[in-house]
Amino acid sequence: MPSAQSVPALEQPANVGDVKLVATAYYNGGAYERDLAAVTSEVSSWLSKRASQVSQPALVLDVDDTVLSNWQVIKADDFGRVIEGPCNALPAGPCGWAAWDLLGRAPAITPSLRMFEQARALGVAVFFITGRPESQRAATERNLRNTGYGGFTRLVMVPDGKHYSSAADFKAPVRAGIEGEGQTIIANMGDQPSDLAGGHAERTFLLPNPFYRIP
């Protein structure tokens, strides 16, 4: 009789290749889109209820994978976050993220666009706060306008050459400044916890993003 196989306890985490397959199936199978819609639906309900109750209601939104989809580059880079380098080989890739941003070709995330349109119809001012640098302003504004996000109040970007260990270190003080102008930020929506940390919003809403992490 062979003895039962002895398997030593190992500390290895999940296999990255397996996790990439799960993430790809999450996107391709439609569950990602459904989860996005589930969250934006919550935001919509809250905006409908709250916008008329405060003066100068405002909505804060992140840009990347909150209102614009980067799935094309995520897929082309096989989930790598390569910032530098050209982006001239899509759809196969590889594609540098900074070059991709400058193309201004990211499509809208449809549930977010519908929610944005509703916010504007309710008279809610929309502020985009992004970790993208100022050097990408023209491309980013063009991308936003071309995909239907034209009616925003302001796009706040990271000054060129500035780096933050957490996006929250940049974004939370920007929200405080918006409040200081007399706006009431009734909702803040992003795809990273660092979009939402640090307060200065009545409610926060976290979209799904199993594809990458921004500290």
Task: Choose among 27, 43, 31, 24: nearest CA to 206.
Answer: 43
Stretch that binds Mg ion, among 9-17, 61-69, 81-89, 91-99 (CB under 5 A): 61-69
Whole-number Å distance between alpha carbons of 211 and 80: 9
User: Binding of Mg ion at residue 62 (CB under 5 A)?
Assistant: yes
Which one of 191, 196, 201, 205 is in contact with Mg ion (CB under 5 A)? 191
By the rule CB under 5 A, 64 interacts with Mg ion: yes
Quick one: 132 or 200, whose CB is closer to Mg ion? 132
CA distance 151 to 95: 30
Query: 133 CB contacts (<8 Å, ≥6 apart)?
Result: 157, 158, 159, 160, 161, 162
Max distance between CA atoms of the chain, in angstroms, equals 79
By beta-carbon proximity to Mg ion, the closer residue of 61 and 87 is 61
Size of the site for Mg ion (CB under 5 A): 5
Find the shortest distance in angstroms from Cβ 194 to Mg ion. Answer: 9
Q: How far is the CB of 195 from Mg ion (least distance, A)?
A: 6
Out of 65, 125, 140, 211, the residue judged to bind Mg ion by CB under 5 A? 65
* Strand 57-61 versus strand 184-190 pairing type: parallel
Buried b (16+ CB within 10 A) or exposed e, 83-95: eeeebeeeeebbb
Residues 112-131 that bind Mg ion (CB under 5 A): none
How near is the Cβ of 214 to Mg ion at its closest, in Å? Answer: 6
Residues that bind Mg ion (CB under 5 A): 62, 64-66, 191
